[in-house]
Chains A and B, each alone.
Chain A
Amino acid sequence: MNPFTWQSALFLAPSIILLFFFSYWPLLQDVWLSFYSWNMISPTMKFVGLQNYLQVLSSSEMIKVLFNTALYIIVLVVINFIVPYLLSFIMTHRINKFSFFYRSALFIPSTISLAVASILFLWIFNPLAGPLNILLSGIGLESPRWFKESGLVIVVIGLIIGWKVFGYNLILLTAAMVDVPKELIEAARLENASNWQLFRRIIIPMTSSTALYVFVITVVFGLQYVLVPVNMLTQGGPDQGSTNLVYIVYQYGFVFFQIGKASAFAILTMLLYAFFLTVKTKVLDKMVHYEN
């Protein structure tokens, strides 16, 4: 029986049309725009060919942007992937009391908007008047200027994203943890396996499918969420210390009104993501253990 009949085509049609108009058509337009120099309102668009790409690749900003993006990825993966992974293991297999309380308490911040969280954290980290400063001065240290030091600003913004994303990732990983058959764990305990061996030999392979998903969304969505706190608190500063591939597209497009360069950055970002996805498919997917 031919599975592909005109009926199935009709059912698929609305989604394909929407996907085309809202995802693929803008992508093609973006490629086209990247060959022009335009400020979005002037009636004349100047064709500049590959000049935007050349300028973008040879600018001193590009290195900083790539470095920052790598740093963001490391911070986001540590705070939003590794820590929830370990924490969910502890919560499901080591602690038996209050686990419901922990789950709810850690999930509630995810429901608060990122803009609100940014303002909250600005107040908490205020180097002269904030609660964190009071704690630090209590032990005799002076609070660093969190939002004005190049490395620290990325960590603080990573924490703000963590406020939002941590709880969600924790719930997902906990669900995966709970799925691990208890017999395996009990069998391992009978053979005196240590916690670390338990984690590495049983837990990681059994939860690897969910873990891969959480890893990918932490990186991809984390980098996009970063736009909100950066736009509200630092605008890419200090001295482009908190900008990344996603923010630089916004900055060139909507702060400098240079849509050509912004599109060039966007296309380069997309190529980088495509590369990341290829690595994921070829390497990580093979390492994942699926139930069936």
Chain B
Amino acid sequence: MKNTKQLLALLCVGALTIVTLGCGGAPSTAQKVPGKMAIEYWHVNAESFGGPTVKQLVEQFNKENPDIEVVEKYNPDMYKGLTQNLQAAMASGNNPDVVQMGYSYLNYAGENFKYANIPDIIAKQSPEDKTYLQDNFLPNILALATTDDGKQIGLPYSVSVPVLYYNPDIFKQAGLDPNQPPRTWQEVAQAAKAIKEKTGTVGFFMQEFADNWAQQAIIESNGGQILAKKDGRTIAGFDSPEASEAYQVLANMVKSGSGLHATNEEGFQAFLSGKLGMVCTTIGKRDNFEKSAKFTVMATPFPSFEGKARKLPAGGNMLMIFSKDADKQKAAWRFVKFLESPGALATWSKGTGYLPPRKGVIEDPQGLKDFAEKNKNMQVAMSTMPEVVKWASFPGANGLQAEQALIDVRDIILSGKQSAAEALKQAASKINSML
């Protein structure tokens, strides 16, 4: 009898514990302080990639605007991860308010997500900002956040361009002049070869993220295209001799051992520990590289092809608003305006490496004037801003799958399994059947 009583008591305690734990309340990321409007801000900035800057800006805004409480949420795996999380959140009805959306997801986001239209918000909630967009942003920058069918779905926020970072110590060891870095891809291949022969370290690495941004830069700078329009439909445009020629430059470097084909983390780790000569990646990594490298990191503009115009897809993100409620939309808009103010943009640039999307920030003494004058690497990136073009984004329901096919072909070409021309042709027909 005593045993049954003990068992019963134990069961009751157990059940009670489970019930209390279960009713602990789902921790809402936006803590509802009474009287404050809660705004959720989603970003992709890890600790090593601008995370502390995000926190700093959010704190500043919350202090200056006591009636709004912004809570920031980090999304791992960059824009792909954020889009996945966003899709799941929208499906369950819990939309965030302000979100950083990668430019490559422009068309997918425009077609699939119920975003709040910024021009409408301005017209209804903030008529005093009627000309805000035109006054402060250049048309080619605003175009980065405009879909193919002309909808302005977001406000450009972070703008990055690819640059070539290099290690001046390795250059000196290989007999190259660190003050005369390679200007064309021909020179890059020669420099990589010299580095490999004279010092034994690998000379060159181009980023291999889960997107084709840097590869688009080299293809388009040689006159090729990623997408083309035929009879009003978008098709793959990279099965051209110019595109294969550009890709083959990379493949040849890898084949001869002077170029590296490995995962991003491996390439960046090797560069930062002094075991890699040149890295071609986003200016957004400038701050992290400068702080973590054991040597002085130098940068030079993305190399061009002799005699051809350089075209650099703008990387980075735009700010989109997803709030449904009118008051929330107004609060979200206030936060977006703060993030795009010269002071905040300057903090953002310094803490990441991203370039300001807005006119006048570079020349503004309260903005980036002093910093830009001192930081050579940033000047390098700014000098290529006029050559910025849109990051190609595959449209349609299979757009993301098409992007993956291009990533796969990168592995095929760089591992030497097929020549660039053959591989690109096969990939193009595969992608055309998907689009």
Contacts and interface: CB of A to CB of B under 8 A. Distances in A.
Interface in A167-223: none
Nearest to B114: A41
A254 B266 CA distance: 25
A116 B400 CA distance: 28
B112 interface: yes
Interface stretch (B140-148, B255-263, B372-380, B383-391): B255-263
Contact of B263 (A39, A41, A148): A148
Interface stretch (A68-76, A82-90, A124-132, A263-271): A124-132
Contacts of A258: 397-398, 401
A149 B266 contact: no
Nearest to B414: A148
A39 B401 CA distance: 12
A126 B269 contact: yes
A238 to B, nearest CB: 4
A37 B396 CA distance: 13
Contacts of A241: 411
Contacts of A129: 266, 269-270, 273, 275
A255 B405 CA distance: 12
B400 A128 contact: no
A147 B87 contact: no
Interface stretch (A25-33, A106-114, A229-237, A273-281): A229-237
Contacts of B401: 256, 258
B288 interface: no
Contacts of A67: none
Contact of A239 (B84, B260, B408): B408
Contacts of A128: 201-202, 260, 262, 266, 270, 275-276
B397 A39 contact: yes
A259 to B, nearest CB: 10
A42 B270 contact: no
A142 B210 CA distance: 27
A148 B262 contact: yes
Contact of A149 (B90, B276, B415): B415
Contact of A126 (B266, B398, B412): B266
B91 interface: yes
A51 interface: no
B400 A257 contact: yes
Contacts of A236: 404
B91 A256 contact: no
B247 to A, nearest CB: 15
Contacts of B47: none
Nearest to B205: A128
B266 A127 contact: yes
A255 B403 CA distance: 10
Given A41-B113, A128-B266, A238-B411, A256 B398 contact: yes
B415 A257 contact: no
A233 B263 CA distance: 8
A13 interface: no
A239 B427 CA distance: 11
A93 interface: no
A21 interface: no
Contacts of A41: 87, 90-91, 112-113
A123 interface: yes
Contacts of B265: 122
A30 B270 CA distance: 44
Nearest to B209: A235
B407 interface: yes
Given A128-B202, A239-B408, A256-B400, A122 B263 contact: yes
B330 to A, nearest CB: 25
B80 interface: yes
Given A123-B269, A148-B261, A233-B263, A238 B84 contact: no
Nearest to A40: B91
Interface in B37-95: 80, 84, 87-88, 90-91
Q: Which among A41, A128, A130 has the greatest number of chain B C-beta atoms within 10 A? A: A128
A97 B45 CA distance: 51
Contacts of A251: 404
A52 interface: no
A241 to B, nearest CB: 8
Contacts of A239: 408-409, 411-412, 415, 417
Interface in B245-280: 257, 260-263, 265-266, 269-270, 273, 275-276
A255 B411 contact: no
Given A126-B269, A128-B260, 4 more contacts: A37-B397, A126-B270, A239-B408, A258-B397
Q: Which 9 A-B pairs have the closest CB atoms?
A: A238-B411, A128-B270, A239-B411, A128-B275, A239-B408, A129-B270, A129-B275, A256-B401, A256-B400
Interface of B: 80, 84, 87-88, 90-91, 112-113, 201-202, 210, 257, 260-263, 265-266, 269-270, 273, 275-276, 397-398, 400-401, 404, 407-409, 411-412, 414-415, 417
17 contacts: A40-B91, A41-B90, A41-B112, A41-B113, A123-B269, A126-B269, A127-B262, A129-B270, A148-B262, A234-B263, A238-B411, A239-B417, A241-B411, A255-B80, A255-B84, A258-B397, A258-B398
